[in-house]
A and B are shown apart, each in its own frame.
Chain A
Amino acid sequence: MGTSLLAIILVIDSSRGPQFVFHYPNNPKRREEYQSSPPGNESCSDSEHVDYDEIDIFNWSIRIGDEFDQQSKMEEDVVDDFSNKPSNSHTSSDALNSGEIKSTQQTLFGFGTGFLANILSPKLQSSKKFQLTIDNLTFIGQPVFWPRDIQENNSDTAPKFGDNVKCQTSNDNEKTQRQSSNDKNNHRNPDITSDNSNDSFSQTNQYQQNRYFTTFHLVFVLEPPELELNRQVDNIYKHVITKLTAALRYEQKRCDYVRIEAEKIIALRDDGIIKNLSFDEITEITLKKNSLAKVIAQVYHDISNDAIAHVIINDYIDLSLQIPPLAPSMFFSPLDNDRDGYEYAHFPVIAPYHTLLLLEDPEEILKSMPLDANPTLVQLVQILTPTQRLAELSTALDCSLAHIYRIAAHLIYWRKAKLIDVISVRNVYAVNFSHIIDRDIFGFLASLSTPKPYASIIPSKDLRTMYLEAITFLLRSIIPNATTADNIAIISAPRQATELEREWLKKKTVNQQRENVAIFERLIKYFNGKHHIEEILFRENISRRDLKMVLGLFDELVTVLRY
């Protein structure tokens, strides 16, 4: 289900034109190149005719590109002519960039970074979703615009931000550079207007208007497999990009954070280039020295590993980002047919007879909570043991069950806990895992391979606590999808026509003791395959032994289902 996040890119567009600030990781790993394209295209099986032209499609696009590349090398001056001609709205700052840092031009995904900065800076200011796909690479982001005069005002107050000398000097540098680039722009502008006819005047206008705005754009690069694109784009946009961008925008507005940090990164890069460092070294230095770069790298690592990214932006905004997992617990029904449904459809239904299993040590969880965390949440994490039902916990904490549910849901959503049935020695556990860690547990695991009540595995009463802890540990770590073998009782009887059913039941139960029949009739409403034994015990408050006995007596009528 994960995302195919390849890289995160930060681009800013200011009076100096679009600038490529930072990308992480330095050398993104592409997905294995479309391993021989989907079978549909090669097709020996398709009974339809095979269009041989279709087959070389992938190669073809590359060929064309190559041709153009070669040709551009061969006739460089012609091409230069073409790209420098300030003929339309994309009068290139690219040309400016290439003048400035031609030797430093780095490439990413086979494109020059200057070129990427250009195409990733939307010319129209609308702070909406940006989405561009080039072959298999998809770039998504939410550009942020703000009027330049505001930025200028802010930059006066910027130094209060504990800024060091370095930043000052880089600012100075930048000023002179900006001047020179402005000069270039001025040279260009008359050109633009003279060259363009009335038709594109509006364009030029837009372009110039845009000059009064500054943009930053945090772009996520994905390479999803076929048919996955829309889902992955929506997920990462909704859960990560909008939230992270909003926090950065806030900090930008508050204290010009993004611009200052971006300029520091550029200064570090230029510095590194002067010192003849490799790009890997430059990235390393940048990550050490720059908080924004650190945030980007951390978000990249956590999101691409399908974990929760916990970042603090500018020591001010505390942000937790994740793409919520589709199946957060084992209670999730394994059918994934309604994937696109309600966002929380895949989260388990919480019931009073469930409990929570913390997936980390309570101390860890408490540490990761903000200082103003809900006190009940803190208490719950402190007292939680997986042998107590949520209902019992709510009495222990003296709060409503609804409140406990909310807290439980919160912990589950943030992957700190999962919903399980109360761990008890009478439960039946079976192994369902893929990692084996320690030799000593082989015997233990092997004994779990044949399902029987957990108690029967425990050699003596003294070891009971240890064995309970062992199963807790297993449920938590080694076996992410350990299934407790749930018991569900179902009646195998004519299911329609209750009248008939009743008659029939009467006939069947006639030989049994009356009190047993009474219990059976009381419980019969649960015997439809939808109720777990744990649930029946909780709701009817009967003992496990009684239930067992009834099920035993009526075993002709009731089948116990285990999964």
Chain B
Amino acid sequence: MEDYARKESEFQAGIPPRLVSIFYAVFHEKQGPKVIYEVPEGSILPTSESTKQPILDFNSISEYIIPKDSLAGHLVTVCTDSHKVLGFPVYIDAHKYKKVYKRNNFIFNLCFVFDRNADTSSYEPVVRKIARVLTSLELESGFLYEKKMMYNVIEQLLEDLNSYCECQIPINSANTINLKLFPTYPNPPPVYDYQVPICTVNLEVLMDVNWDLTMKNVATRINGIHHVKKIADLADVDPGLARKCMEHLLYYGCIIMVDIFQFSNVYAVKPDIMRVLEDEAVQNECISYVTKLDAGPPPSFIKLFSLYCQLKYGVSLKEWIEENQVSSLNIDIRRFITFGVIKRFLYRVHKYPVLPEFALLSNGGGDSSNTSKLPLNLRKLLNGTHHYDEICTAENCSAKELDEKLSVEPKIWFIWR
């Protein structure tokens, strides 16, 4: 299905790009900025025997690779016409660290070269880390300045990061370079108290003893029915922490957020529903997802489709069930709705109560409306930006109870959207 394909490509985007070359450059005491080691050979330094051109002209970017002090200690990415160079220039002062350097300082940079269009977000932590590790190695043992071992290191780095996305390079008895590339995903959207998480994977299987206690506590209560605030209540966890946990799970694609299922809800289809018609796999998935277990033959997809089409503005689920005699069919209505929402061809039409005076008082500044019988904190929510689910969750009441509460105020309008 479409949205899954998109997910897939999003996750693709997080996969680390191919590393074209690594080079190690220093400020040479006589020759200025200079590339000392490179892999593969000839990628940066012109070689005498081959006619192959280096992939980039070091001199043109050397001021960014071996910079003056201001850039040192920053992650610096510079682009040439064809490549992108990631580096973290480090400046070590001889006086400060009691080192002996010919020029009283030592500047080095281990640079990673990619294609110009590569998305290098996943490499950024790695480049920072290796710069830090090399700095401490240098400060401890003069690893860079005295012992000239970098060639082996960068050779293994290139090989292992490209093949395994991680590497482990023993340096001496005390030190090992450990690097691992993690794919970068886009940050998840904010999580709200009134959203209902549904698992896409079996979290119980993934869970192990090392998991955060709060996370474990919260994750075991995800059942596709409870909203976030209820989960927080059940788990006896601060709602803020529960939301944070949900964001983590969303980030890794372990859950999807849907709305609270109620029979007063209104849903409508999106144009995307046409894609379902063309995708038999999703149709079968739909049938098996929405059919009640052990309760007779499954409905045809045509029937399900026309039922989806009957969901529209102005028709609550309850009315829809009555009109179409849905209860006589072998369908789990909650799963029927969530399937549409998850596959993004169905959307919830929310109900927004608006108290015009209040909305126009501009965010409840001077509140002179002594006429209203509603408590102030509830009235504050009636400015047209909060829907029923949100207000019910905040007020800890059902939609019906909220209806009753609001019925004392005759001037309320309801806007569905």
Q: Are B68 and A90 in contact, CB atoms less than 8 angstroms apart?
A: yes
Cα-based distance from A49 to B178 in the complex (angstroms): 13
Chain B nearest CB from A439 CB (Å) reads 5
Interface residues of B in 291-319 (CB under 8 A from A): 302, 305-306, 309, 312-314
Q: Are B187 and A123 in contact, CB atoms less than 8 angstroms apart?
A: no
Q: Are A71 and B70 in contact, CB atoms less than 8 angstroms apart?
A: no
Identify the closest chain B residue to A428 (Cβ).
B313
Cα-based distance from A443 to B415 in the complex (angstroms): 9
Cα-based distance from A492 to B14 in the complex (angstroms): 40
Q: Are A451 and B314 in contact, CB atoms less than 8 angstroms apart?
A: yes
Cα-based distance from A83 to B62 in the complex (angstroms): 16
Q: Which residues of B contact A138 (CB under 8 A)?
A: 77
Q: Which residues of B contact A196 (CB under 8 A)?
A: 31-32
Q: Which residues of B contact A112 (CB under 8 A)?
A: 70
B162 contacts the other chain (CB 8 A): no
B174 contacts the other chain (CB 8 A): no
Cα-based distance from A229 to B247 in the complex (angstroms): 23
Chain B interface size, under 10 / 10 to 19 / 20 to 34 / 35 or more: 35 or more
Cα-based distance from A206 to B211 in the complex (angstroms): 58
B360 contacts the other chain (CB 8 A): yes
**Known pairs A60-B132, A132-B79; A45 contacts B248 (CB<8 A):** yes
Q: Are B63 and A119 in contact, CB atoms less than 8 angstroms apart?
A: yes
Kindly supply a per-residue 1/0 record for chain B positions 41-81, scoring 1 wherever the CB is within 8 Å of any chain A CB and 0 otherwise.
00000000000000001011011100111111111111101
Q: Are B272 and A334 in contact, CB atoms less than 8 angstroms apart?
A: yes
B5 contacts the other chain (CB 8 A): yes
A225 contacts the other chain (CB 8 A): yes
Cα-based distance from A40 to B415 in the complex (angstroms): 39
Q: Which residues of A contact B268 (CB under 8 A)?
A: 562-563
Cα-based distance from A442 to B208 in the complex (angstroms): 53
Q: Are A45 and B413 in contact, CB atoms less than 8 angstroms apart?
A: no
Identify the closest chain A residue to B92 (Cβ).
A68
Chain A nearest CB from B150 CB (Å) reads 20
Q: Which residues of B contact A124 (CB under 8 A)?
A: 57, 59-60
Q: Are B9 and A337 in contact, CB atoms less than 8 angstroms apart?
A: yes
Q: Which residues of A contact B248 (CB under 8 A)?
A: 39, 43-45
Cα-based distance from A94 to B71 in the complex (angstroms): 14
Q: Which residues of A contact B249 (CB under 8 A)?
A: 45
Q: Are B74 and A337 in contact, CB atoms less than 8 angstroms apart?
A: no
B36 contacts the other chain (CB 8 A): no
Cα-based distance from A126 to B206 in the complex (angstroms): 53
Q: Which residues of A contact B247 (CB under 8 A)?
A: 39
Q: Are A40 and B184 in contact, CB atoms less than 8 angstroms apart?
A: yes
Q: Which residues of B contact A436 (CB under 8 A)?
A: 354, 359, 384
B18 contacts the other chain (CB 8 A): no
A431 contacts the other chain (CB 8 A): yes
Identify the closest chain A residue to B88 (Cβ).
A61
Q: Which residues of B contact A43 (CB under 8 A)?
A: 248
Q: Are B73 and A64 in contact, CB atoms less than 8 angstroms apart?
A: yes
Q: Are B187 and A226 in contact, CB atoms less than 8 angstroms apart?
A: yes
Q: Are B71 and A119 in contact, CB atoms less than 8 angstroms apart?
A: yes
Q: Are B356 and A439 in contact, CB atoms less than 8 angstroms apart?
A: yes
Q: Which residues of B contact A230 (CB under 8 A)?
A: 117, 119
Kindly supply a per-residue 1/0 record for chain A positions 44-87, scoring 1 wherever the CB is within 8 Å of any chain B CB and 0 otherwise.
11110101011001001100110110011001001100110001
Q: Which of A67, A119, A431, A434 interacts with B64 by CB under 8 Å?
A: A119
Q: Which of A47, A68, A82, A89 interacts with B63 by CB under 8 Å?
A: A89
Q: Are A431 and B68 in contact, CB atoms less than 8 angstroms apart?
A: no
B93 contacts the other chain (CB 8 A): yes
Interface residues of B in 167-197 (CB under 8 A from A): 178, 180, 182, 184-188
Q: Are A68 and B91 in contact, CB atoms less than 8 angstroms apart?
A: yes
Identify the closest chain B residue to A438 (Cβ).
B360
Chain A nearest CB from B120 CB (Å) reads 9
- Max chain B C-beta neighbours (<10 A), residue from A45, A337, A495: A45
Identify the closest chain A residue to B9 (Cβ).
A337
Q: Are A83 and B68 in contact, CB atoms less than 8 angstroms apart?
A: yes
Q: Are A65 and B74 in contact, CB atoms less than 8 angstroms apart?
A: yes
**Known pairs A203-B59, A450-B416; A61 contacts B313 (CB<8 A):** no
Kindly supply a per-residue 1/0 record for chain A positions 485-500, scoring 1 wherever the CB is within 8 Å of any chain B CB and 0 otherwise.
1101010110100000
Q: Which residues of A contact B207 (CB under 8 A)?
A: 47
Q: Which of A115, A132, A445 interacts with B415 by CB under 8 Å?
A: A445
Q: Are B69 and A57 in contact, CB atoms less than 8 angstroms apart?
A: no
B121 contacts the other chain (CB 8 A): yes
Identify the closest chain B residue to A53 (Cβ).
B129
Q: Are B33 and A430 in contact, CB atoms less than 8 angstroms apart?
A: no
- Max chain A C-beta neighbours (<10 A), residue from B249, B313, B384, B416: B313
Chain B nearest CB from A497 CB (Å) reads 14
Identify the closest chain A residue to B84 (Cβ).
A131
Q: Which residues of A contact B354 (CB under 8 A)?
A: 436, 442
Cα-based distance from A333 to B188 in the complex (angstroms): 23
Q: Are A226 and B63 in contact, CB atoms less than 8 angstroms apart?
A: no
- Max chain A C-beta neighbours (<10 A), residue from B6, B95, B210, B417: B417
Kindly supply a per-residue 1/0 record for chain A positions 7-46, scoring 1 wherever the CB is within 8 Å of any chain B CB and 0 otherwise.
0000000000000000000000000000000111101111
Cα-based distance from A490 to B206 in the complex (angstroms): 43
What residues make up the interface of A, taking CB atoms closer than 8 Å to B? 38-41, 43-47, 49, 51, 53-54, 57, 60-61, 64-65, 67-68, 71-72, 75, 78-79, 82-83, 87-90, 92, 94, 111-112, 115, 119, 122-124, 126, 128-135, 138, 196-197, 199-200, 202-203, 206, 225-227, 229-230, 333-337, 430-434, 436, 439, 442-443, 445-446, 449-452, 485-486, 488, 490, 492-493, 495, 529-530, 559-563
* 17 A-B pairs in the complex with CB atoms less than 8 angstroms apart: A57-B125, A60-B132, A61-B74, A87-B32, A89-B59, A112-B70, A133-B76, A133-B78, A138-B77, A230-B117, A333-B271, A334-B271, A434-B385, A439-B356, A445-B415, A490-B274, A560-B309
Which A-B residue pairs are the 3 nearest by beta carbons?
A: A44-B212, A133-B77, A88-B32
What residues make up the interface of B, taking CB atoms closer than 8 Å to A? 2-3, 5-6, 9, 13-14, 30-34, 57, 59-60, 62-64, 67-79, 81, 88, 90-91, 93, 95-96, 103-105, 117, 119, 121, 125, 128-129, 132, 135, 178, 180, 182, 184-188, 206-208, 210-212, 214-215, 245, 247-249, 251-252, 254, 268-274, 277, 302, 305-306, 309, 312-314, 354, 356-357, 359-360, 384-385, 413-417
